[in-house]
């Protein structure tokens, strides 16, 4: 960018553009706000606004392309095209006045391109969209992104078109901020101080979070951590763990680890990524919780003894988290998941050998693909005689019965609890090793 003076609002839009370039040019997940190149000098509220703007574009990227198409004779360079999508999102989906969105878009285009025709294009297209706003999106809404083709086929075949539409609508809505309290008895007081509601399962939910998470009451004291309501169900599926020897495999960034530690487990947490394990350790220090942590690849590591309980959250497509990470559909090749499915099976087989007779093994995947959930669990039982699936329903207060599958496993979806703000899609199964 040039050394021109920065107009108000330009810096956060530049940070939003930087986020979008990471997705559409670099095919990378959005970085933390603190690491975004264009957002380093922004205050927390501006960084959060930049992320919200980028997410707004990503959640309806397909529709924004359709809106822009009639106004463009040819597709402009990527940066200019993304600026136009930012302008379109602000005009059609946000509360920004049309003239302000166009003015900021023009200024941003001057900073990323020396070609004067690009500035003129952004100005002309933006003004025409602002003029046509009530025709393009009379209710301020645009069609949600369609599910990626492999995921569409999966959901349509298994659950039907109505479920496809509901999940697409869930992906189009900003996800609320979910928090797990360290002390469950403190939930009412924490909810009041945070302006949160307590969900039936015990998660604290802030519907419209503003600013930095670290600025919320109770963060410095370690009274809670960020964890989606669905992800927080895996540990309750284990049943009581106080005093049990528990192994958490693929543990980072540590939400489930902290749940286990808070529940009184004698805990070992293993993860192959040293950087992610450092983040887990930092979370444990902040919350005052304890666990033995080991940086190791679970495919080659072996413990000294067996455990009463093993929890494994193996790598997966993460398709259940698209509502929180809308960039996923633009960077993941969902036609090629066989390697992930094989890795999950190998990790499960190893984890099974670490469970003592009579012990429990919980598999949790944040995927909407049955190959990474229902089918994976079935194949595990076929490979391992002497194991059964147990229904954890009696240890899951607040969970509706229709979330439980006939096998006894738990399946959550983004469209569940729609009026409460939805949740991530997870498959969770509790296995028991027979004596």
Q: Count the neighbouring beta carbons within 10 Å of the beta carbon of residue 78.
A: 12
Three-state DSSP class for 16? Answer: helix
Contact 326, 55 (CB under 8 A): yes
Question: Apex CA 238: angle with CA 197 and CA 434, to 5°?
Answer: 160
> SS in 3 state form for 83-144?
HHHHHHHHHHHCCCCHHHHHHHHHHHHHHHCCCHHHHHHHHHHHHHHHHCHHHHCCCCCCCC
Contact 216, 244 (CB under 8 A): no
**CA atoms lying within 13 Å on the CB side of residue 418:** 10
Any idea what DSSP says for residue 404? B
- Please report, for residues 56, 190, 367, the alpha-carbon distance to residue 315 in angstroms, rounded to integers and kept in the order given: 27, 32, 10
Non-local CB neighbours of 238 within 8 Å, separated by 6+ positions: 246, 309, 311, 360, 362, 392, 395, 430
Q: Looking at 132-230, list the stretches that DSSP marks H as alpha helix, in order from N- to C-terminal side.
A: 133-136, 149-159, 161-172, 187-194
Residues labelled catalytic: 366
What distance in Å separates the CA atoms of residue 295 and residue 130, rounded to the nearest whole number? 53
Taken in order 244, 249, 251, 256, the sign of the CA dihedral is negative
What distance in Å separates the CA atoms of residue 22 and residue 64, rounded to the nearest whole number? 18
Question: Apex CA 151: angle with CA 148 and CA 155, to 5°?
Answer: 130
What distance in Å separates the CA atoms of residue 189 and residue 224, rounded to the nearest whole number? 12
Residue whose tokens read 């670490």: 354
């Amino acid at each position: 960018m040039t050394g021109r003076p920065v107009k108000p609002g330009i810096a956060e839009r530049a940070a939003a553009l930087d986020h979008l370039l990471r997705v559409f040019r670099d095919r990378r997940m959005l970085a933390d706000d603190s690491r975004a190149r264009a957002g380093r000098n922004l205050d927390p509220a501006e960084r959060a606004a930049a992320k919200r703007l980028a997410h707004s574009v990503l959640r309806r990227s397909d529709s924004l392309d359709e809106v822009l198409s009639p106004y463009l004779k040819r597709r402009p360079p990527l940066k200019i095209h993304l600026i136009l999508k930012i302008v379109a999102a602000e005009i059609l989906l946000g509360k920004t006045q049309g003239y302000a969105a166009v003015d900021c878009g023009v200024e941003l285009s001057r900073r990323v391109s020396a070609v004067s025709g690009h500035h003129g294009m952004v100005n002309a297209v933006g003004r025409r969209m602002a003029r046509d706003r009530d025709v393009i999106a009379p209710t301020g809404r645009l069609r949600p992104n369609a599910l990626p083709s492999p995921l569409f086929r999966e959901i349509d075949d298994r659950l039907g078109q109505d479920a496809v539409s509901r999940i697409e609508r869930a992906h189009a809505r900003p996800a609320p901020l979910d928090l797990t309290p360290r002390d469950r008895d403190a939930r009412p007081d924490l909810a009041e101080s945070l302006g949160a509601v307590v969900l039936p399962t015990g998660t604290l939910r802030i519907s419209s979070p503003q600013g930095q998470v670290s600025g919320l009451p109770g963060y410095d004291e370690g009274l809670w951590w960020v964890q989606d309501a669905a992800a927080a169900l895996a540990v309750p599926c284990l049943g009581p763990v106080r005093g049990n020897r528990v192994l958490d495999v693929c543990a980072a960034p540590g939400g489930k680890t902290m749940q286990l530690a808070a529940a009184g487990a004698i805990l070992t947490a293993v993860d192959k990524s040293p950087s992610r394990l450092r983040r887990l350790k930092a979370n444990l220090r902040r919350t005052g919780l304890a666990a033995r942590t080991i940086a190791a690849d679970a495919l080659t590591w072996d413990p000294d003894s067996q455990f009463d309980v093993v929890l494994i959250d193996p790598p997966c497509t993460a398709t259940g988290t698209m509502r929180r990470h809308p960039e996923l559909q633009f960077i993941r090749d969902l036609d090629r998941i066989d390697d992930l499915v094989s890795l999950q099976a190998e990790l499960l087989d190893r984890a099974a050998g670490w469970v003592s007779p009579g012990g429990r093994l919980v598999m949790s995947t944040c995927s909407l693909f049955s190959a990474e959930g229902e089918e994976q669990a079935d194949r595990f039982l076929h490979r391992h005689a002497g194991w059964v699936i147990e229904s954890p329903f009696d240890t899951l207060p607040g969970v509706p019965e229709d979330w439980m599958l006939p096998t006894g496993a738990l399946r959550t979806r983004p469209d569940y609890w729609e009026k409460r703000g939805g949740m991530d899609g997870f498959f969770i199964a509790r296995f028991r090793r027979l004596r």
